[in-house]
Chains A and B, each alone.
Chain A
């Protein structure tokens, strides 16, 4: 006999597991990040780029225009690079966002849709996830537009970008202004506590209590897993799956 399903996670007063994999929109909306300084930096650069003077154009033609701004969100796997990128992208929704796509398991099996390099869309601002996966020859093309770049990367790409820029023909070259933010240092117990609280609240089904996750537990999780937020959220996902029903 089959029992009918019930509303998911209703016993926990939730709509879904708060520590589930999120869509890019949800990730951007729920991110606990401070990107205001970066947003100001990009806006300032865009404002400068919007009205190039005749002198500016001539300088560009000579290959000596204003430097190309590159913002690097640097960190190892799971520290929140994509989350930061999505949160920034939410502030510039008109700018394209690309990512190297690895073929899925099924795609690999069927060998039908190989993962690959996305085409580089036009625009003065480009968000690139998984930037470390891009080979140098791709960067030569990406740098062609002298656009501002926001990169989520696991390693510092400055040397590669400089080589790629040097590989461009003379008039296409420009100095690079690379600014890097190491996200590993930003994963603190306080940030994690805020992430947990925000995630739980976003999945709330109705008024009343929610599953409790002890603050000390959160700290010990972080100590055990290091700055790998994804691993911490994996643990919390499992915890929610086995959590006893909450009393209203």
Chain B
């Protein structure tokens, strides 16, 4: 009989609002249940379309440990809290979808099948836009502009005096000078001119207001003032020199803020306009190669003079529950039969709680999936008040540690910035230590005992020998991922990766070597992320006083 795995959701339409509980079960058909190892469920979001695929917010849950007893099919229920974003989006060049994927440790070739999608729509809990996203504006500072103009002018002048060779300098000089000069010229005619707001959060079905203030020093005339709201999919495909950018307008609307108009010298004139966002306006989304971006470009047409332009980024975001009631409502499609529970929450969720984000459901087939619950926090180990030791592995624990994988959501903004709900950057916040790391840990206790001994005179040697060869399951907090060098390690690990980090929640430093075939996975690890690891102690680093383990 072929081994198969099926993922069933409790809702036929697989549609969940953020904050609701996604429930389902893994149905495993295999006659080799006795030789089965652990069963894992991973949830994540992923983009697909014309751009290079990005994915993030990966969380892994162990549903079952050890052989599958009884006769097939084996049913393993699961449940987790639907994340606060990014929300499902299906466009032309870009699609954003959420998935769950099964992994069953069975010897030999075994294909658990493709990951299964579920649809995520805004609900009671919505991740707030990342501060980094709100910082970004399309306006360049006057200082930077001035600097460009000066450098550009210098290049042009120098190039002029060294013609014909100076032509090489004059061309980039023109490119540097012209945009800045253009804007300066336009501003010179209009005096003090600004458009607001420079950063803005808008909700689908809501409005985007734009205001332009002009205060010319002399009486001037303008032909018109306009504003254009534009939503675009911007995706990048390919790598290196084959990289290409694909753009597609999702929504474009132009409004006239003013027709021909006389401006009085020294008097402030304010031009205002308002855009109505469509009810189904897609939310702002940013990952490494894929983006849904909104902006407003304001332009003032000055007769016989360069026009004045300014661009503002707009962040289209899911409304908190109160605001969403009207006018932005979500109407279920006619063919969607399931009734979704009423929204109960009221506030935007302040931050992702990776501890509660994914929970395993009871593993006994007869048990109904339980309501979300937190694992109780245990007191720290005696003698180490600050060290909550990590842990022995907990098979199919009902509050099994869920581990977020910030690695996949961080590549684009190096300083922790991200942009988009659950998009790159959100998970750059250090993941809180999962509950399991606060439990008793033989590894942490043994290392602590070694460190308490004197480092000279061989006092540590018997303890180190006793530790070597022991196998531990713990949550590894990543500090650094590096290549494994040297001839010492087993060949399986020789070209692999070594993660320098600590046992989460304890501060006990460890080096963990991973086999070569896990390089891709380990390369995605990021500093501060916590990952479950089962590894054997193989060595003790005397210089840095820490154990070396092999996963």
**A and B together in one complex:** yes
- The smallest beta-carbon distance between B24 and chain A, in angstroms, is 15
Query: Is the beta-carbon distance between B414 and A112 smaller than 8 angstroms?
Result: yes
Partner of B88, one of A5, A95, A237: A5
Given contacts A102-B240, A122-B483, contact A4 B121 (CB under 8 A): yes
Tell me the A residues contacting B by CB distance below 8 Å: 1-8, 15-17, 20-23, 25, 77-78, 82, 93-96, 99-102, 104-107, 110, 112-113, 121-123, 129-130, 132-133, 154, 230, 234, 237, 241
Cβ-defined partner of A20 (8 Å) among B50, B328, B330, B495 = B50
Contacts of B329 in A (CB 8 A): 1-2
| B236 in contact with A105 (CB, 8 Å) | yes
B49 close to A21 (CB less than 8 A): yes
Q: Kindly list chain A residues whose C-beta atoms are within 8 Å of the C-beta of B483.
A: 121-122
Q: In whole angstroms, what is the CA distance A1 to B324 when docked? A: 11
- Name the distance in Å between A94's Cβ and chain B's nearest Cβ: 4
Assuming the contacts A99-B240, A123-B495, asked whether A1 and B330 have C-beta atoms less than 8 A apart, the reply is yes
Q: How many A-B residue pairs have CB under 8 A?
A: 124
Q: Kindly state the interface size class of chain B when it binds its partner.
A: 35 or more
- Whether A3 and B331, one on each chain, are in contact in the complex, defined by CB atoms closer than 8 angstroms, is yes
B237-249 CB mask vs A (1 if < 8 Å, else 0) is: 1111111010000
At the interface, yes or no: B204 with Cβ under 8 Å from chain A?
yes
> Can you show 24 pairs from A to B with CB atoms below 8 A apart?
A1-B329, A2-B279, A4-B333, A5-B15, A5-B119, A5-B121, A7-B14, A8-B97, A15-B114, A16-B95, A20-B53, A21-B49, A23-B52, A23-B53, A77-B241, A93-B519, A94-B516, A95-B495, A99-B239, A100-B241, A102-B239, A104-B236, A104-B289, A234-B50
B48 touches A4 (CB 8 A): no
| Minimal beta-carbon separation of A85 from chain B (angstroms) | 11
Contacts of A6 in B (CB 8 A): 13, 90, 119, 333
Given A8-B95, A20-B50, are A94 and B495 also a contact pair (CB < 8 Å)? yes
Measured between beta carbons, the chain A residues less than 8 angstroms from B110 are none
Report the nearest B residue to A234, measured CB to CB.
B50
A95 to B494 Cα, complex, angstroms: 11
Which residue of chain B is the closest to A113 with respect to CB atoms? B414
Query: 5 smallest A-B Cβ distances: which pairs?
Result: A130-B240, A1-B331, A94-B516, A2-B280, A5-B88
Q: Give the residues in chain A near B415, CB-CB below 8 Å.
A: 112
In angstroms, Cα B204 to Cα A6, docked, is 19
Known: A4-B330, A102-B239, A104-B236. A20 touches B49 (CB 8 A): yes
Taking a contact as CB atoms closer than 8 A, the residue among A22, A130, A230 that contacts B53 in the complex is A22
A3-B280, A101-B239 known; A106 vs B516 contact (CB < 8 Å): no
Assuming A16-B95, A93-B516, A122-B485, is B50 touching A102 (CB within 8 A)?
A: no
Given A3-B280, A4-B330, the answer on whether A15 and B52 have CB atoms closer than 8 Å is no
Bound together, the chains give a CA A25 to CA B14 distance in angstroms of: 27
Chain A proximity of B175: nearest CB distance (Å): 15
Q: Contacts of A94 on B, CB cut-off 8 Å?
A: 495, 516-517
Residues of chain B contacted by A8 (CB below 8 angstroms): 48, 90, 95, 97, 117
Minimum CB–CB distance for B259 against chain A, Å = 34
Smallest beta-carbon distance A73→chain B, Å: 13
Interface residue B336 (Cβ < 8 Å from any Cβ of A): yes
Please report the C-alpha to C-alpha distance between residue A225 and residue B430 in the assembled complex, in whole angstroms.
48
Least CB distance, A111 to chain B, in whole angstroms: 11
Please give the distance in Å from B363's CB to the nearest CB on chain A: 28
Known: A7-B14, A7-B117, A7-B119. A130 touches B242 (CB 8 A): yes
Q: When the two chains form the complex, which single residue of B48, B241, B495 contacts A17, counting CB atoms closer than 8 Å?
A: B48
B506 at the binding interface (Cβ < 8 Å) = no
B288–A20 touching, CB < 8 Å: no
A110 contacts across to B, CB distance below 8 A: 413
Beyond known contacts A4-B13, A93-B517, A94-B517: 17 more, CB 8 A cutoff: A1-B331, A2-B204, A3-B280, A3-B331, A5-B88, A5-B89, A5-B119, A8-B48, A8-B90, A15-B117, A21-B52, A21-B53, A77-B241, A102-B243, A106-B286, A130-B240, A234-B50
CB proximity to A under 8 Å, residues B492-506: 495
Q: Which residue of A lies closest to B330 (CB)?
A: A2
B336: contacting residue among A4, A93, A112, A133, CB under 8 A: A4
B291 sits at the interface (CB 8 A): yes
- Contact between chains at B237 and A133 (CB < 8 Å): no
CA distance A15 to B242 in the complex (A): 27
Quote the shortest CB–CB distance from B303 to chain A (angstroms). 33
Q: Mark each residue of chain B from 42 to 69: 1 if its CB lies under 8 Å from any CB of chain A, else 0.
A: 0000001111110000000000000000
Confirm or deny: B393 has a beta carbon within 8 angstroms of a beta carbon on chain A: no
Cβ A112 vs Cβ B117 within 8 A: no
B490 at the interface (CB under 8 A from A): no
Q: Which of A94, A96, A99, A106 has the largest number of chain B CB atoms within 10 A? A: A106
- Does chain A have a CB within 8 A of B225? no
Check: B92 CB closer than 8 A to any chain A CB: yes
Q: How far is the CB of A130 from chain B (nearest CB, A)?
A: 3
User: Which residue from A2, A106, A129 sits with its C-beta under 8 Å from B331?
Assistant: A2
In the assembled complex, the CB of A25 is this many whole angstroms from the nearest CB of chain B, namely: 8
Which residues of chain B (1-60) have a CB below 8 Å from chain A?
13-15, 48-53
Residue of A nearest to B515 (CB): A94
B412 interfacial contact with A, CB 8 Å: yes
Q: Which residue of A lies closest to B293 (CB)?
A: A106
Any A CB within 8 A of the CB of B234: yes
A130 contacts which chain B residues (CB < 8 A)?
Answer: 239-242
Partner of A112, one of B48, B239, B280, B413: B413
B541 at the interface (CB under 8 A from A): no
Give the complex CA separation of A161 and B431 in angstroms: 46
Q: When chains A and B are docked, how far (Å) is the Cα of A3 from the Cα of B157?
A: 59
**Which residues on A sit within 8 Å (CB–CB) of B205?**
2
Whether a CB of chain A sits under 8 angstroms from the CB of B367 is no
A136–B212 CA distance with the chains assembled, in angstroms: 53
- CB proximity of B75 to chain A, nearest CB, Å: 21
Q: Report Cα–Cα, A4/B339, bound state, in Å.
A: 13
B332 near A: Cβ within 8 Å? yes
Q: How far is the CA of A15 from the CA of B236 in the complex (A)?
A: 21
- Measured CB to CB, the closest approach of chain B to A13, in angstroms, equals 13
- Assembly CA distance A104 to B336 (angstroms): 39
* CB closest chain-A residue, reference B485: A122
Whole-angstrom CA separation of A204 from B280 in the bound complex: 28
Could you tell me if A101 and B240 are in contact, using CB atoms closer than 8 angstroms? Answer: yes
Most buried by B among A8, A93, A122: A8
